[in-house]
Amino acid sequence: MKRYEKLKNKAININSNINASKRRLKNSKDRLDELNDRVEKLRDEYKIHSESIDVLKEIIEGMSVNHIEKIENMITYGLQTIFYDRDYAAEIQVEDKRNSKHAEFYLLEKREGKVIRTNKDAIGGGVKVILGFILQVFYIQYFNLNRIIFCDESFSQLSESYIDGLMEFINQLADKRGYKIILISHDNRLTPQAERLYKVNKGEIKLVRGGEDDN
């Protein structure tokens, strides 16, 4: 009888361990699926930001020197506001090739008295995300569109160190240029400085912080 009880308890323990392992495996699979979805989204975002620079190059072909200087200045100001500890600048080179204009974008950085020039393909993810955002601002002004920008999980690649700089730049766009920036994100780093904060739960939208909705 004692041997039976021991075997029974052992079987129960084994079964319990198997069930626990199954739960851990399921949780790991769910987490892996979630991470794979996130990676795919980041790839899509990275592609969009890369394409933003390509679109910029096409627009620049029909621009005057004065306009090119304006976009260089806008990008440089945005980069220096957000990446406060890096001496970044934008450079756009336009050349005549095969009877048409050809534009190349470069990120410049001063380091120890030297200027490092990086083309768009070698720019890091966080900087490229910011470039894409600044270019959206430029496109809206250039084409005289409504100054509203939706950013869906757009800044997850940006380092913690530069969140305050990003929010400072966004606030300047809102206060001085009349932009409305809607950030859709699970990133809690972005919420403290938001003028209004909404939570969405199962399709229900709730105002958590801020004033009444605009008419």
- State how far Cα 138 lies from the chain centre: 17
Has residue 185 got a pLDDT over 60? yes
**pLDDT tens digit string along 151-160?**
888 888 899 9
Q: Is residue 52 part of a domain?
A: yes
Q: Is residue 26 part of a domain?
A: no
Q: Is residue 10 part of a domain?
A: no
Which of 147, 141, 165, 146 lies closest to 155, judged by CA?
Answer: 165
Q: What is the pLDDT of residue 215?
A: 43
Higher pLDDT, 35 or 163: 163
Q: Answer for the pair 135, 53: CB distance below 8 angstroms, yes or no.
A: yes
Q: Is residue 2 part of a domain?
A: no
Count of domains for the chain: 1
**pLDDT tens digit string along 196-214?**
898 888 888 888 887 655 4
Q: Is residue 187 part of a domain?
A: yes
Distance CA 83, CA 129 (A): 12
Q: Is residue 158 part of a domain?
A: yes
CATH code at position 129? 3.40.50.300
**pLDDT tens digit string along 69-78?**
888 999 999 9
Q: Is residue 93 part of a domain?
A: yes
- Helix axis angle for 65-82 and 2-60, nearest 10°, is 150
Q: Which domain holds residue 74?
A: 32-209
